[in-house]
Amino acid sequence: MQLHIKLVLADLMSLITLYQQEYTQPSAKIQAKHDEIDIDFIYKDVIDILQSMEAGSDRISQIVLSLRNFSRLDEAPIKAVDLHSGIESTLLILQNRLQAYKHQPEIQLIKEYGNLPPVTCYPGQLNQVFLHILNNAIDAIREAGKNIEQPQIWIRTEVVENEQIKIAIANTSSFIPLHIQQRIFEPFFTTKPIGRGTGLGLFVSYSIIKKHGGNITVNSLPQQETEFVISIPIAP
């Protein structure tokens, strides 16, 4: 559609150019209108709008595809999948939250992906885990305020002893005290204000990982980083 509009617009501009070449002395009324609307600016502006529309439609297509990959509603409940694909779909959904806004800087994303084999799992459920942990990491950074020069989130993946997949998600600018770390996976436990957290996200994530025969832990050190580490078997 955009290509068709561009071709039509190019034809119109070509016709206008011919008129200008053939009729070099337009009437005062036509010249006044020409000066008022600025044909060259309008042409460039319309091209820019079409390019923005094209970029927007591509972005929507990517989001729809990511949502489909994220939910995996049309697939078998358990199957062998590429976990990196699920992580990437989750990141695309959260992309807007990673961008700079107001006085908050952009969150830099650092991915250190290992060479992972397909993992037999419930992919939709694992994507929920990725979404919740990444959302928590973004929340922690944003709550730290605008004094952070370069907030970062790391995602590291690797195979451990040819049997387990390890996924580590860490963020700067936050610290979870030890007494909270010890309770963080309990149901209904939350440190967020009333109305902002249910205390179920990490509990559900913990339950999903345990369902896969794996484990999830948290490690947080002052002035360093908070890291969630997920370990799941490659095959059940």
Q: What is the CATH number of the domain that holds 199?
A: 3.30.565.10
Q: Is the pLDDT of residue 107 over 80?
A: yes
Tell whether 56 and 89 lie within a shared domain.
Answer: no
Helix (H, G, I), strand (E, B) or coil at 16: helix
Tell whether 32 and 145 lie within a shared domain.
Answer: no
Q: Which of 31, 60, 89 is the last residue of a domain?
A: 60
- 3-state SS, one letter per residue, for 44-62: HHHHHHHHHHHHHHHHHHH
Please report the pLDDT score of residue 69 as a whole number.
57
Helix (H, G, I), strand (E, B) or coil at 74: coil
Measure the CA–CA gap between 138 and 135, rounded to whole angstroms: 5
Measure the CA–CA gap between 149 and 45, rounded to whole angstroms: 36
Mean pLDDT for all residues in the chain: 81
Asked whether residue 18 is domain-assigned, the answer is yes
Q: What are the b/e assignments for 210-223, b being 16+ CB within 10 Å?
A: eebebebebebeee
Instruction: Give the pLDDT mean for 180-202.
Output: 69
Asked whether residue 66 is domain-assigned, the answer is no
Please report the pLDDT score of residue 133 as a whole number.
93
Asked whether residue 68 is domain-assigned, the answer is no
Tell whether 191 and 125 lie within a shared domain.
Answer: yes
Provide the domain count of the chain: 2
Tell whether 114 and 227 lie within a shared domain.
Answer: yes
Tell whether 170 and 54 lie within a shared domain.
Answer: no
Prediction pTM value:
0.67
Tell whether 48 and 157 lie within a shared domain.
Answer: no
Structural contact between residues 157 and 114, judged by C-beta atoms closer than 8 angstroms: yes
Tell whether 102 and 147 lie within a shared domain.
Answer: yes
Structural contact between residues 174 and 139, judged by C-beta atoms closer than 8 angstroms: no
Please report the pLDDT score of residue 228 as a whole number.
94
The residue behind tokens 């995996």 is 72
pLDDT band of 60, cuts 50, 70, 90 = low
Tell whether 13 and 107 lie within a shared domain.
Answer: no
Asked whether residue 121 is domain-assigned, the answer is yes
Instruction: Give the pLDDT mean for 150-179.
Output: 90
Measure the CA–CA gap between 2 and 5, rounded to whole angstroms: 5
Tell whether 104 and 213 lie within a shared domain.
Answer: yes
Structural contact between residues 166 and 230, judged by C-beta atoms closer than 8 angstroms: yes
Is pLDDT larger for residue 180 or for residue 74?
180
Tell whether 94 and 53 lie within a shared domain.
Answer: no
Please report the pLDDT score of residue 68 as a whole number.
58
Tell whether 50 and 99 lie within a shared domain.
Answer: no
Q: Which domain holds residue 30?
A: 2-60
Asked whether residue 19 is domain-assigned, the answer is yes
Asked whether residue 35 is domain-assigned, the answer is yes
Q: How many CA atoms lie less than 13 Å away from 183 in the CB half-sphere?
A: 9
Please report the pLDDT score of residue 82 as a whole number.
94
Measure the CA–CA gap between 81 and 235, rounded to whole angstroms: 11
Asked whether residue 96 is domain-assigned, the answer is yes
Give the tens place of pLDDT for each residue, 214-234. 999 998 877 678 899 999 999
Tell whether 49 and 151 lie within a shared domain.
Answer: no
Q: Which of 60, 92, 109 is the last residue of a domain?
A: 60
Q: Is the pLDDT of residue 164 over 90?
A: yes
Asked whether residue 22 is domain-assigned, the answer is yes
